[in-house]
Amino acid sequence: MNTRTRTGFEVLQFALVLGLLGDILLRATPWGLNVLLFNTAFAAGMITLLYRRAPEILTKQTMALFGALVFFAAMFAWRDATELLVADTFAIITILSILFLPKLQVTTQLAGVFHYVIAFFWSALNAFFAPVALLISDIEWKSLQRAGWSRHLFAVLRAVIIVTPILLIFGALFIAADAAYEGWVQRVFNIKPETVLTHVLLFSFFSWMSAGYLRGAVTKQDIVEMGTQTAPENEAAAETVLDPSTALNHLSILEHINISDPPNASEEAKPADTPVAEKKKFAWSDLENSVLPAAFTLGTVEVGVIIGLMNLLFLSFVLVQLPYLFGGMDLVQSTPDFKLAEYARRGFGELVTVSALVLPILLATHWLLRKESRTTEWLFRIFAGIQIALLFVIMASAVQRLVLLTGNLGYGLTTIRLYPLIFMSWLAIVFIWFGATVLRGYRNYFAWGALWSAFLILGATHVLNPDAFIVKTNLRLMQEGRMFDAVYNSNLSDDGLPALMESFTNLDPSDQKVVARQIARRYCEMRTDDDLRSWKFDSAVLWQKIDSNRELVNEIGGCDSGFLYSPVYRD
**Interval 239-247 mean pLDDT:** 41
Q: Among 24, 3, 76, 14, which residue's Cα sits nearest to residue 44? A: 14
List CB contacts of 298: < 8 A, sequence separation 6 or more.
306, 365, 368, 369, 370, 376
**Interval 64-93 mean pLDDT:** 96
pLDDT at residue 520 in the model:
80
CA 122 to chain centre: 14
pLDDT at residue 40 in the model:
97
Q: Per-domain residue ranges for the chain?
A: 3-218, 295-461, 469-565
Is pLDDT of 332 > 90? Answer: no
Is pLDDT of 565 > 60? Answer: no
pLDDT at residue 350 in the model:
81
pLDDT at residue 468 in the model:
96
In tens, the pLDDT along 116-126 reads 999 999 999 99
Residue 85 phi/psi, 5-degree rounding, is: -65, -35
**Are the C-beta atoms of 39 and 243 separated by less than 8 Å?**
no
In tens, the pLDDT along 145-195 reads 654 555 566 677 777 778 878 887 888 888 888 888 888 877 777 767 778
Is pLDDT of 264 > 80? Answer: no
Q: From residue 284, give the alpha-carbon distance in Å to each of 59, 112, 117.
A: 20, 10, 12
List CB contacts of 122: < 8 A, sequence separation 6 or more.
100, 103, 104, 216
Q: Please state, in angstroms and rounded to a whole number, the distance separating the CA atoms of residues 314 and 386.
A: 10
Cis amide linkage into residue 30, ω under 30° from 0: yes
Q: Please state, in angstroms and rounded to a whole number, the distance separating the CA atoms of residues 485 and 415.
A: 14
Is pLDDT of 569 > 70? Answer: no
pLDDT at residue 259 in the model:
47
Q: From residue 336, give the alpha-carbon distance in Å to each of 168, 323, 330, 332.
A: 75, 15, 12, 9
Q: Please state, in angstroms and rounded to a whole number, the distance separating the CA atoms of residues 486 and 518.
A: 10
The DSSP 8-state label assigned to residue 562 in this structure reads G
**Interval 44-59 mean pLDDT:** 93
Assign 3-class secondary structure to 308-373.
HHHHHHHHHHHHHHHHHHHHHHHHHHHCCCCCHHHHHHHHHHHHHHHHHHHHHHHHHHHHCECCCC
pLDDT at residue 249 in the model:
46
Q: Which residues pair with 298 in a beta bridge?
A: 369
Top mean pLDDT of 276-280, 434-438, 498-502 is at: 434-438
Q: Please state, in angstroms and rounded to a whole number, the distance separating the CA atoms of residues 7 and 197.
A: 31
Banded pLDDT at 220 (limits 50, 70, 90) = low
100-114, 283-297, 508-522: segment of lowest average pLDDT: 283-297
**Confidence (pTM):** 0.80
pLDDT at residue 304 in the model:
92
Angle 448-121-9 (CA atoms, 0-180°, nearest 5)?
A: 100
**Are the C-beta atoms of 302 and 374 separated by less than 8 Å?**
no
In this predicted model, which residue has the larger pLDDT, 553 or 96?
A: 96
Is pLDDT of 280 > 80? Answer: no
Q: From residue 399, give the alpha-carbon distance in Å to each of 161, 357, 392, 462.
A: 60, 17, 10, 21
pLDDT at residue 159 in the model:
79
Q: Please state, in angstroms and rounded to a whole number, the distance separating the CA atoms of residues 53 and 7.
A: 7
**Are the C-beta atoms of 163 and 32 separated by less than 8 Å?**
no
Is pLDDT of 206 > 60? Answer: yes
- As a whole number, the mean pLDDT across the chain is 80
CA 406 to chain centre: 31
Banded pLDDT at 223 (limits 50, 70, 90) = very low
Is pLDDT of 34 > 70? Answer: yes
Task: Provide DSSP, 387-404.
Answer: HHHHHHHHHHHHHHHHHH
**Are the C-beta atoms of 564 and 517 separated by less than 8 Å?**
yes
Angle 364-109-450 (CA atoms, 0-180°, nearest 5)?
A: 50
Top mean pLDDT of 31-40, 149-158, 255-264 is at: 31-40
- Terminal CA-CA length for the chain: 77
pLDDT at residue 408 in the model:
67
Assign 3-class secondary structure to 521-546.
HHHHHHHHCCCHHHCCHHHHHHHHHH
Q: 298: helix, coil or strand?
A: strand
43-57, 171-185, 397-411, 451-465: segment of lowest average pLDDT: 397-411
Q: Among 323, 390, 403, which residue's Cα sits nearest to residue 362? A: 390
Is pLDDT of 36 > 80? Answer: yes
CB atoms within 10 A of CB 418: 20
In this structure, the dihedral spanned by the alpha carbons of residues 411, 413, 416 and 421, taken in order and rounded to 10 degrees, is 120
pLDDT at residue 256 in the model:
47
In this predicted model, which residue has the larger pLDDT, 418 or 222?
A: 418
Q: Which residues pair with 369 in a beta bridge?
A: 298
**Are the C-beta atoms of 198 and 24 separated by less than 8 Å?**
no
CA 545 to chain centre: 34
Axis-axis angle for helices 340-367, 300-334 (nearest 10): 170
